[in-house]
Structure 1
């Protein structure tokens, strides 16, 4: 597995990976323009490659000093449980050696404590147009 921080993805590559990882169930994969913006504005993208195949990705926003928000961590479902997700997060931490924050997908809730994350009980969400 080759891990890279210097390769940008096309929306089609990312959509295919999201769908192969099941994260596509919770991402706007039918809206290519939105996916393009998601890729354009992430300032840290770590990818995992098995030859020419995109195996996984960690799409993040970071200030490189205090906090990194990992918005997406996805690995192809067919190759999960091989340490690829953990290695992607290790590469994120190497690039931005600070706290990593994320919201777990329902199917991954038990994964993060297994690799060393601690649960935080005061996350808050505000949808567009929800501010009163």
Structure 2
């Protein structure tokens, strides 16, 4: 097996969606909404892919400023190719392109929570998330108007 790594987000959408399905990332991404998936891919400014010949077997989709930080939005490796170092290499290639002073952040999938510490990631206790389905702003008690 000779895996090659490429940079770029000009990819066939059906091929990417199939990879998400085959990696289980599709369980947590809107793979049935082609418009959203296409936008996710198009607007990511750093995409590294892994190929076995002409078969897409891995992807790292990142949003970054290439100077200070980047968010690894998706890391997917086809189930048939997992535990072969492909995910780690995708992260290495991502970091190399982001620059030596740029940190990489991510939200780990439940099944991958044990993986990231093994390759050097540290859990951060002060990360926050506001989901699209949640109203904003939500008034805290101390911000509520007095009666």
1:61-76 alignment, distance < 5 Å? 61-76=63-78
Work out the number of aligned pairs and report it: 132
RMSD, aligned CA: 1.0
Give 5+ residue unaligned stretches, structure 1.
Answer: none
Q: What is residue 103 of structure 2 aligned with on the other side?
A: 99
Structure 2, unaligned stretches of length 5 or more? 138-147
Which stretch of the first structure deviates more once superposed, 51-60 or 1-10?
A: 1-10
Q: Does 1:113 align with 2:117?
A: yes
* CA apart distance, 1:130: 2.1
Structure 1 residues 54-76: Cα deviation after superposition (integer angstroms, max 9, x where no partner): 01000000000000100000000
Q: Secondary structure at the match of 2:104?
A: strand
TM-score normalized with structure 1 length: 0.96
Which one has the largest radius of gyration? 2
Check if 1:50 corresponds to 2:52: yes
Moved over 4 A (4+): none
